[in-house]
């Protein structure tokens, strides 16, 4: 893979258990779920899976435990063709795990998750040679110190940096200042400013070329060439929104690697996210390359 264009991913990888329920229960009752789905997850890991299905290779740097979940995470990624050489297995520690309940009638989902118990990834554990030869760096900023270090190295080497900002956590704004594309969730935006538009303006003022906020079923807001745009979500028969944001960000990274106009990349992300919402889990509904060619023929000649 070192001789082919690839995206360097740095961040979370998880094992997800997803179940379907009719409605979220009140406290102290039993609630039966159906359609158990077990799949790999995590924002960066799922984004790399989407990119690989669209013809872009991926290398993932992260942390897992040496438990059964860790083994399942590695298998799920290897089966998709992702290079997992950067995932470090911490001896005696537990991997990231999530149990997710989906309410198809309301298109809601609730995530219960446990972060990996091992030590966070350290800058010294990142393969700089691999990073330096990548076409883009895609990170969620979970490992704040390592992510900031990698972003700075990438920027100095002229490698575009795409950040998936799910939560306004310590160190993430420092990472934002070292990014080219910074797409935040509505949760991040609500904690950061008074409106998604204001979030985009504040992020753009940090020197970020493409700033945006995903709004779920309400679409997204972004700032391109100093202009605010707001787009509605693509129609979908949504049953589970797990992974929608991850795949939206994959669309942004794909567009950056392929040289698309930012608005085209955002459109790809929004369309792909809608397709993902029509299936349980974050990866089952990722559209294949053939479908992308039909939807975006000019960008995939």
- pTM of the entire predicted model: 0.94
pLDDT at 1 (0 to 100): 44
Does an H or E element contain 71, and which? helix 68-78
pLDDT at 185 (0 to 100): 96
Are 40 and 77 in contact by the 8 Å Cβ rule? The answer is yes
Q: For the chain, what's the residue count?
A: 301
pLDDT at 226 (0 to 100): 86
Look up residue 101 and give its two tokens.
């309940």
Residue with tokens 């605010």: 228
Largest CA distance in the chain: 56
Are 13 and 115 in contact by the 8 Å Cβ rule? The answer is no
pLDDT at 139 (0 to 100): 98
Look up residue 216 and give its two tokens.
């779920």
Are 50 and 268 in contact by the 8 Å Cβ rule? The answer is no
For 263-301, what is each residue's pLDDT tens digit? 999 999 999 999 999 999 999 999 999 999 999 887 665
pLDDT at 2 (0 to 100): 45
For 131-155, what is each residue's pLDDT tens digit? 999 999 999 999 999 999 999 999 9
Q: Where are the domains of the chain?
A: 6-291
Residue with tokens 């149990």: 99
Query: Which architecture characterizes domain 6-291 according to CATH?
Result: 3-Layer(aba) Sandwich (3.40)
Exposed, middle or buried, 290 (CB in 10 Å: 0-12/13-18/19+)? exposed
- How far is 64 from 121, CA to CA, in rounded Å? 10
Collect the ranges in the chain with pLDDT lower than 70. Answer: 1-4, 299-301
């Amino acid at each position: 893979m070192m001789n082919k264009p690839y995206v360097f991913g740095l961040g979370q990888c998880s094992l997800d258990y997803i179940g379907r329920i009719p409605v979220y229960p009140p406290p102290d009752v039993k609630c039966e779920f159906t359609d158990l789905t077990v799949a790999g997850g995590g924002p960066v890991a799922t984004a790399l899976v989407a990119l690989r299905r669209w013809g872009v290779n991926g290398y993932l740097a992260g942390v897992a435990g040496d438990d059964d979940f860790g083994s399942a995470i590695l298998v799920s990624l290897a089966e998709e063709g992702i290079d997992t050489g950067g995932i470090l297995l911490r001896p005696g520690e537990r991997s990231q795990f999530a149990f997710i309940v989906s309410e198809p009638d309301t298109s809601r989902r609730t995530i219960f998750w446990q972060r990996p118990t091992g030590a966070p990834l350290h800058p010294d554990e990142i393969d700089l040679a691999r990073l330096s030869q990548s076409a883009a760096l895609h990170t969620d900023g979970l490992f704040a110190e390592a992510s900031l270090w990698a972003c700075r190295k990438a920027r100095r080497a002229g490698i575009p940096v795409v950040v998936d900002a799910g939560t306004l956590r310590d160190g993430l704004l420092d990472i934002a200042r070292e990014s080219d594309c910074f797409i935040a969730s509505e949760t991040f935006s609500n904690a950061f400013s008074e409106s998604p538009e204001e979030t985009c303006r504040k992020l753009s003022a940090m020197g970020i070329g493409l700033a945006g906020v995903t709004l779920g079923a309400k679409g997204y807001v972004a700032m391109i060439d100093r202009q605010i745009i707001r787009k509605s979500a693509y129609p979908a028969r949504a049953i589970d929104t797990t992974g929608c944001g991850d795949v939206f960000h994959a669309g942004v990274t794909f567009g950056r690697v392929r040289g698309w106009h930012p608005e085209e990349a955002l459109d790809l992300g929004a369309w792909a996210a809608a397709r993902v919402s029509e299936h349980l889990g974050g990866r089952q509904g990722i559209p294949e390359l053939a479908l992308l060619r039909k939807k975006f023929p000019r960008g995939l000649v």
